Amino acid sequence: KAGVTQTPRYLIKTRGQQVTLSCSPISGHRSVSWYQQTPGQGLQFLFEYFSETQRNKGNFPGRFSGRQFSNSRSEMNVSTLELGDSALYLCASSLETGTFGNTIYFGEGSWLTVV
Amino acid sequence: SQELEQSPQSLIVQEGKNLTINCTSSKTLYGLYWYKQKYGEGLIFLMMLQKGGEEKSHEKITAKLDEKKQQSSLHITASQPSHAGIYLCGADGPGKGSGNTGKLIFGQGTTLQVKP
């Protein structure tokens, strides 16, 4: 069974540009979450999607957005990139949300460097 | 605000030695996850604990959740170089008992080095 797949693995963007990251969850998983990891702030929750609906949102500006498709694949978008957006972006998936005993699996991440 | 505290922040042990990493919350934990991460890579799921007093083991790694469900420990027996990495505890909104979501709060991580 394939794990959580994220693309691209590495990318470099210029300030002011926008970027789209993609995540394919484990087959059968319907919940997808996104996280940002930086040396200074650690791992921080961005948002969670379930059945194409955003269920939870972290404390990030509106430049960060996401969506989920009917096949549970998800994308996140960051517009008007800033240097501080340089980070490892991690996607995670689980079968359900709001139930006990949910195991959450993470992908390898997408490294974003903003120059 | 930081709600999960991990200790120690870093650890260097000789191969073959045992070690323990702690994760403490000021609120009751409903769903405590342990992950391992190699720098710059994704998180590898180790274990999930939910019930007070619960203990799970996988190979040489044992994780426990205390009876009050406010502290978890990760114990590695006879450490090997392959155990080196960053260990992270994550919890689903400490104090929230309405089912687990994908919104986890993480500790700051414990970096483990194992000297051959």
Which has the closest alpha carbon to B104: B87, B83, B88, B90? B90
Query: Given this model, what pLDDT does residue A52 score?
Result: 94
Amino acid making up residue B74: L
The string of pLDDT tens digits covering residues A56-110 is 899 999 999 999 999 999 999 999 999 999 999 999 999 877 666 778 999 999 9
Nearest-by-Cβ selection for B42 from A32, A90, A98:
A90
A43 interaction partners in chain B (CB closer than 8 Å):
88, 90, 104, 106
What pLDDT band is residue B93 in, cutting at 50, 70 and 90?
A: low
- The mean pLDDT value for B99-114 works out to 88
CB pairs under 8 A between A and B: 81
B51 touches chain A (CB under 8 A): no
End-to-end CA distance of chain A: 37
H-helix or E-strand containing B115?
strand B110-115
- The pair of structure tokens assigned to A94 is 């689980």
Looking at the DSSP bridge assignments, the partners of residue B106 are B90
Radius of gyration (C-alpha) of chain B in whole angstroms: 14
Distance of CA B107 to the CA centre of its chain: 9
B39 touches chain A (CB under 8 A): no
B85 touches chain A (CB under 8 A): no
Contact A30, A102 (CB under 8 A): no
Distance of CA A60 to the CA centre of its chain: 13
DSSP string, chain A: ----EEE-SEEEE-TT--EEEEEEPPTT--EEEEEEEETTTEEEEEEEEETTEEEEE-S--TTEEEEE-TTS-EEEEE-S--GGG-EEEEEEEES-SSBTT---EE---EEEEE-
Note if the bond before A8 is cis, omega within 30 degrees.
Answer: yes
Contact state of A99 with B100 under an 8 Å Cβ cutoff: yes
**What average pLDDT does chain B have?**
90
What pLDDT band is residue B98 in, cutting at 50, 70 and 90?
A: low
A20 burial via Cβ count (<10 Å: 0-12, 13-18, 19+)? middle
